Amino acid sequence: MIYFGVFYGFALIVTGLYGYLESGGASVTALIPAFLGAPIFLLSLASLNQKFLKIGMHINVVIALAGFGATAKDTISMLLGKESENQLAIYSKSITCILSLIFIIISVRYFINNRKLKAIQ
């Protein structure tokens, strides 16, 4: 789970940097995925220490929920075929939304399975 968090955070950082560089540095808002990914990446690395595992991964899920909530509307619009002025922004939001949803689902399943294992012991 920790390594998936590192991958997810890194993927968001790359998405944000790519969007920013591809837009010619015209808008700092293109870096929003990177702003979401950086704390996830760092908290996932911190979670390698068992002391920070539980809190770090739970905070990561909260950040992922924020990322998903902020990008879901535009992603749904894109999937329904609505045109946009800025395709790069829509693609960046869609990547953020889909990665966040996958991370949330996998994290919740991990938390549930972990709780079941503790109940058995």
- So where are the chain's domains? 2-120
Report residue 115's pLDDT band, with 50, 70 and 90 as the boundaries.
confident
Apex 15 CA angle, 48 and 56, nearest 5: 25
The average pLDDT across 68-80 equals 90
Place of tokens 């010619």: 24
Report residue 117's pLDDT band, with 50, 70 and 90 as the boundaries.
confident
pLDDT at 81 over 90: no
How confident is the model over 4-29, as pLDDT tens digits? Answer: 999 999 999 999 999 999 888 888 88
pLDDT at 70: 93
CA distances to 16, 64, 99 from 5, in Å: 17, 10, 11
